[in-house]
Every structure is written in structure tokens, then in C-alpha cells.
Chain A
Amino acid sequence: MRVIELWYAILAFTLIVYLMLDGRNFGVGAIQRAVAKTPAERRQLALALGPLWPWHEVWLVVLGGVMFVAFPRVLAVSFTGYYLALYLVLWSLILRGIALEVTGYDEHPLWQEFWDFVFTASSVLLAILFGVALGNIARGVPVGPSGEFQMPFFTNFRTSGQVGLLDWYTVSMALFTLLALSAHGATYLTVKTEGPVCDRSRRLAHKLWILFCPALAAVFAETWIIHPNLLSGIGSRPLAIAPIVVAIAGAAMIARGLKYHRGGLAFTGSWLLLAGLLIAGAAAMFPTMLRSTLGDSNSLTAYNSAAGPTSLKVAAIWWPVAVALSLGYSLFILRQFRGKVPAGR
């Protein structure tokens, strides 16, 4: 049965890598207006995203693929259940991708203003939607005895029984995620840009990370209220404690990096902090994948949703090969694009 645990870990890894990589781009989009004041500065920002944002997005496609091959039941139940929210994500991704692709094709200022706005709006919406998704994973969804669910956007804003996509907990998780990814994006810009954009990003990152501390405490407290076992699960599992320690170290690196203008240190810290929190969450959830708010016996777990052993074993052979190749390509490209993006003409 060890192969099922391996695939749970691979799924968590893929989700977290996607959120960290593309979350950086959502964060940059969300703070675009605050740190880039002129069209030239906004071009500098777009260049700072680098040549790999399509590669970041593919991690989401890979996440779908991993669910497909390893946990087809979870894929079928959750994507049908989150039907409308899923389409909002897909449409926002279409708009975000188009905005990034076409802005540079025309020099007209109105063209640029329009697509910069689309980029910001879709990025904010995506950060919020993925935050809602994380909130839903922690809170649970109304999986009935039939093993399916269909959830409206909202019901009564309470967190038990026939819940909707949005309630007080998932909304606060959404705002928290928007804050965290904005801080992550701002920290990235301190690494990748020079000039006024870099200075504004550093000041903004500083403010956002200070706000992050009480927000994190609030989210912990709320999670304690709606799902006490999740947090006590962290205490009893070494695999959940270790990433918390890493996250604390990350927080220290952010503080030091921003203070001494060492962007690389701060951005590494940002990665460690956010990824550490997410890994701890995934380890504490195990083996639950879709928690039911209508009784634990309805929940989808890694054990009752996994694919057959042959399928899991075959995929466990090619999966690491593909990841290694993928990292190889991305490094080959990144090497040619290293260095800061200077302030525009």
C-alpha cells in the first residue's frame, strides 16, 4: 500500500509547486498598479515575470494529470462538485494568459492600459479562487452518501452541513491567500527588477509581510474553530512539524533579506515559509482528500479513491523521469534570462 502514500505525496508536491510558481505571477499581477506607475515600468514588470510563466501554468495541467492517473475518483467528484468555480478558474487563466501574450503586440497606450487591467483583474481573481479552494479543502465539502456533491457558490455562510463554496472561513482564506501571494510576488520583484520598481516592491513587501503575521494567526485560530483535528494532527506528525520549522526559518530569512536588501535571501525565505505551511497542511490532512461536512464516513481518502496498483506503479516509474527532464529544460532556458530587468526606456 506504500505506493498510495507516494502518490498522495506527489499530488501534494505538484499542487504546492504550482501554487508557489504561478502564485508568484498572480502576486505580481495583483500588485502591478502599486509598484509600476508608468507604461515603461509595467513593461519592466512583464519582462520580470520571465520566459517561464507558461511552464508554471503547465504545473496545473500536470496536477490534473496526477489526479487523473492516481485518484480518478477525487478528480471526478471534485471537478463536478466545484463545477462553476472550476470554470471561473479556467476563464480567468485564459484572460491572464491572453493579457500576458498580447500586451506587447501593439504600442497604443489604450491597448496596453486595457490588457494591463485584464492582467491585474484576472490575477487577483485567481489568487482569490485558489484561496477559496484551499479553504474548501480544509473545511470540507458536502459529499453525501452517494459519494458525490454539487455545491452552490454560497448557502448560509456557515461552515457545517450543506455548505457553499463561500462562507466566512473560505472567504477569509481567500483574502489571506491574496495577501500571501502579493507579498510573495513583491518579494520576487525585489530580486528581478532594478530602479524605482524595485524600491517600491521592497517597501510594499515589507508592509505586506508585517500584515501577514496577524493574518496568519487569525487563519490558524479560525482553522482551530472549524476543524480542531487538523491542527492537533500537526502536533502528532513529524512530517507536519518539520515543515513548520522550515517555515519559521523562512520567515526569519524574509526579515533579514528585506532589511539588508538581499532579495535572493528574502525570496528563498518566502518560498520556504509558504511551502512549509502548505506541506504541513497536506501532511496533517492525510489520508483525507475530500473531507465531507455531512459525516466522516462519506469522505474521500487516498485509500478509498486511489487507482489500481498496476497503474500507480507504472506511473511512478515515468513520473520522476519527466520531472527531471522538465527541470532540465527550465534551467536551460533560465540560464539565458538570468540577471535583473533594468528600468525601461
Chain B
Amino acid sequence: MNSPMSDPAFWHRIQFAFTIIYHYLFPQLTMGLIGFIVFWKFKALRSGNPRYATAARFWTKIFGLNFAIGVVTGIPMEFQFGSNWAAFTRYSGEIIGQTLAMEGMFAFFLESAMILALVFGEKRFSPRGHFLVSLGVAIGSWASAYFILTTNAFMQHPTGYTAGADGLLHLQSFGQFLFNPWAIVEFAHNQAASLVTGAFVVTSLGAFYMLGVRHHDQARLYLKYGAAVGLFASVLVAFPTGDRQAKMVAKYQEVSLAAMEGRFQSGPEAELVLIGQPDVQNRKLDNPIIIPEALSFLAYGTFHSDVRGLGAFPENVWPGNIDLLYYSFHIMAGLGTLFIVVMALAVVYLLIGRLESNRFLLWVLMLAFPFPYIANTAGWMTAELGRQPWLIYGLFRTEQGYSKAATSGSTVFTLIGFCGLYLVLGFLFFYLIEREIEQGPEDEGD
């Protein structure tokens, strides 16, 4: 009787989760890649060396395809707030609407005016003018991230609001809302992670061309900058940004931290779990491999700090899906650690001049590109599953937020529609990307 599928909220959540996860596969690459493109266009402008211009031109085509899918899958996101989460929209709309509208007006306007000029209009601009166009796209896409992460930060840790007598939230301090400390940490962590995706993709293609003995000069360029940025960004994701993010969760979402770690009992000198399977029914963790006292240190800065477990909180504030939350967090953190190792190895071999001849490492780099996507997705699942059962943490529950007037039948219908449409988009994307990679950077006419 009480299957989750008979609950309308289930379908609204699945649709939002599916469409947002799919959408974010594209912006995480474009936000990372645009950094490479701007940098190479700058080098080309300064040095006049055509290899940088060729690199920027090739990656702009990859960027353009990703951007196109990112845009078309992004537009439904904003509109789903109104259609599927009407009660949430009404409750907090005038606050989160600020940043959602600012994203459109300050970020999307800039990106959308520049994007086709960036991808198709190089000949119409001077090199300096076209560099400015790429800079405009870069600023637009990173500003967009800030606005949308501020919106998310309000849901994670609301600030700058007041609860009105009409039962709705009202804006009290625009500054406190826009510069929510959670938003700043989340932005730094997320943008570093998007650079990781960009760097792994650039490195992967460099390794692919190197192993296939094609486009040798370009391949060297991709390996060099991909590995350097990859190492830098992978370290940034862990420290200081990931560390600060974890401390924020420990401070404001204590129960989520317990669930992320599969920690049921409270106590000092809390251990950090590396591997293990949570057993929520019996409130224990099976097959644990741990680092003693590390969780206390990471969360609160001393090895003997008390870290409360799930048992210390009533079950109605536990995150709804503890198993998935636990695995999401551990997959993200585990992959994040491996990224540092892989990129550090690549940089060491680069420095001693042996990377190009180390076929094993090139194979690893070539095959590694899907993992940052998995880590980014798992990270977002950690953030959003950890926020449950709240839509706005401590204020408004997820089950209160969906559109009561929209029927489950309609939601299932639109979810099926999205599945079909996005499947087609996926095939189309792979076909077009494969063509670009096959054609490669050097063969194009000028």
C-alpha cells in the first residue's frame, strides 16, 4: 500500500533529479573548458604561436556542442519550480526568485549574446575582440554558477529571510542572502570540481591522440596543461574547499554528517569510514574499514571532539535515503582522492619528461575521463540527499513543496517524455562529438 511510487512527491522528485543530473553533465564540462579556452586564446594573443589558437579553436567546437545541450536541458529546470514545486515557489519565491532572475539577467544574457559569436564568428572579430567574446562567455558561465548555487545555499542553510504573518518567507537582507557563507564555500568547491572535469577531459583526449600517434603537438599541449590544471584543481576540491564544506555540514546539518558517514552511535574520537555497508534497520555499519579519530578532527578540528550519530536525532529529521547518501558521499570522496593521485603521477612524469613514453599512464589518463562526472554527480547527490527531509533546511519539508494541483499522471507522462527526448539528445551528442574528435584539431581549414 505505502509504496513510495503511490506518493505524488516521489514522481516530482524523480523528474527533478533526473533532469538536473542530466543537465549538469554538460555545464560541469563547459565551465571547466572555458578556462582552458580563455587561457589558450590569451597565449595565442601574446605569443602569436598558432598552436594555441588551434587548441582554442578545437576546444571551442567541443565546448559549443556541450553548451548547446546544456542550454536546452537547462531551460526546463527553471520552469519546473513553478510547474512541479508550486508550493515551494509560493513559499520562498520572492527570495530564491532574486537569484534565479539574476542568473537570467546577469549571466544568461551575457553568455547567450556571446556564444554563437564564440563558436562560429571568429573571422568577424579581431583576435582581441574574439578573446573578449570568450572572456564574456567565461564570466557569464561562472556568474551563472554563483547565482544558482546561492539559490541552492538558501535551501541548505537559509539566511537573510524573515517568516511573514502570511505564512510565506520574505526577503529581509539581500546582502545576507546573496553572500550566504554556505554559497561562497559551495561555489568554490563546485567550480574547482568543474575544473577537474574539464582537465580530465582535456588530458584524456591528449592521451588518446598521443596513444594513436595523431596530432602530436596538440596532444602534448593538452597533456601538459590538462595535468597541471588537473592536479591543482583536484587538490583544491579536497582542500581547502571540500574541508570547509564538510565543516559547514558538521556545523549546520549535523544529522546529515552522521548519515553520510553511516554513524549511528554518538561519541568522542569518531572514526572516519573508508569502506563499509550501512545497515539502517539494525543501526550498524557492516565490514567497516576505518581511520580512528579522523572524523572528529575533520569535522571539528580536534581528535577527541564528540560527533553525534543518527541515534541522537529523532527519525523524522533523518535524511530519507541514508544508504544512497552514504554511498554518494563515499564515492565522491574516494574518487576525489584518486584524482589527486593520478594527476600527481601525471605531473611527476611530465616534469621528468617521461609522460609521453609511459603508455600505461597514458591509458589510465585516457580512460579516466568519466570519473569526474561520476564524482560531481555523487557530490551533488550528497548535498541534496543530505538536505532531506527538508526542502529549505529546518523551515520547509520536501513533502510540503510539490504542486498539489498537478496529478501524478501528468508527472509520469512528462518524466517519460524527458527520458525519451534526453535519450535522443544523448545519441546525437555522442555522434557529433565523435565526428569532432575524429576530425581532430589540425585538419580544419582556416
Contact = CB atoms under 8 A, between A and B. Distances in A.
Contacts of B114: 329, 333
Contacts of A65: 78, 97, 100-105
Nearest to B69: A98
A102 interface: yes
B395 interface: no
A12 B161 CA distance: 28
Q: By DSSP majority rule, is chain B's interface helix, strand, loop, or mixed?
A: helix
Interface in A1-19: none
Nearest to A47: B120
A37 to B, nearest CB: 24
Given A80-B406, A91-B417, A97-B68, A68 B93 contact: yes
Interface in B70-129: 71-73, 75-76, 78-79, 81-84, 86-87, 89-90, 93-98, 100-106, 108-117, 120-121, 124-125, 129
A344 interface: no
B87 A69 contact: no
A315 B96 CA distance: 12
Interface in A53-80: 53-55, 57-58, 60-62, 64-70, 72-73, 75-80
Given A69-B97, A93-B75, A337-B121, A54 B115 contact: yes
A91 B422 CA distance: 10
A58 B90 contact: no
Contacts of B100: 64-65, 68-69
6 contacts: A54-B111, A65-B103, A308-B94, A315-B98, A322-B105, A336-B124
Interface in B392-443: 403-407, 410, 413-414, 417, 421, 425, 428, 432, 435
Greatest chain A CB density within 10 A among B82, B98, B172, B174 is at B82
Given A62-B105, A91-B417, A337-B124, A69 B425 contact: no
A104 to B, nearest CB: 8
Interface string A155-177: 00000000000000000000000
A325 B101 contact: no
B79 to A, nearest CB: 6
Contacts of A315: 98, 101
B120 A51 contact: yes
B414 A87 contact: yes
Contacts of B109: 55, 58, 62, 322, 325-326, 329-330
Interface in B21-80: 64-65, 68-69, 71-73, 75-76, 78-79
Interface of B: 64-65, 68-69, 71-73, 75-76, 78-79, 81-84, 86-87, 89-90, 93-98, 100-106, 108-117, 120-121, 124-125, 129, 133, 136, 164, 170-172, 174, 403-407, 410, 413-414, 417, 421, 425, 428, 432, 435
Given A51-B121, A318-B102, A76 B89 contact: yes
Nearest to B169: A308
A130 to B, nearest CB: 14
A64 B407 CA distance: 22
B140 to A, nearest CB: 9
Contact of A307 (B65, B75, B94, B425): B94
Interface residues of A, number: 63
Given A329-B109, A330-B109, A336-B117, 12 more contacts: A51-B121, A52-B116, A53-B116, A54-B71, A55-B113, A57-B71, A79-B79, A90-B75, A307-B94, A308-B170, A318-B106, A336-B129
Given A68-B89, A84-B410, A326-B105, A57 B112 contact: yes
Contact of A69 (B83, B101, B120): B101
Contacts of A307: 93-94, 97, 170-171
A94 interface: yes
Contacts of A73: 90, 93
B93 A69 contact: yes
A319 interface: yes
Contacts of A148: 86, 404-405
A62 B103 CA distance: 9
Contacts of A336: 117, 121, 124-125, 129
Contacts of A105: 432, 435
Contact of A79 (B86, B111, B115, B121): B86
B171 A76 contact: no
A217 interface: no
Contacts of A98: 68-69, 72, 425, 428
B75 A72 contact: no
Interface in A254-306: none
B94 A311 contact: yes
B72 A93 contact: yes
Given A87-B83, A308-B164, A72 B104 contact: no
A223 interface: no
Contact of A310 (B129, B133, B170): B170
A65 B148 CA distance: 12
A291 to B, nearest CB: 18
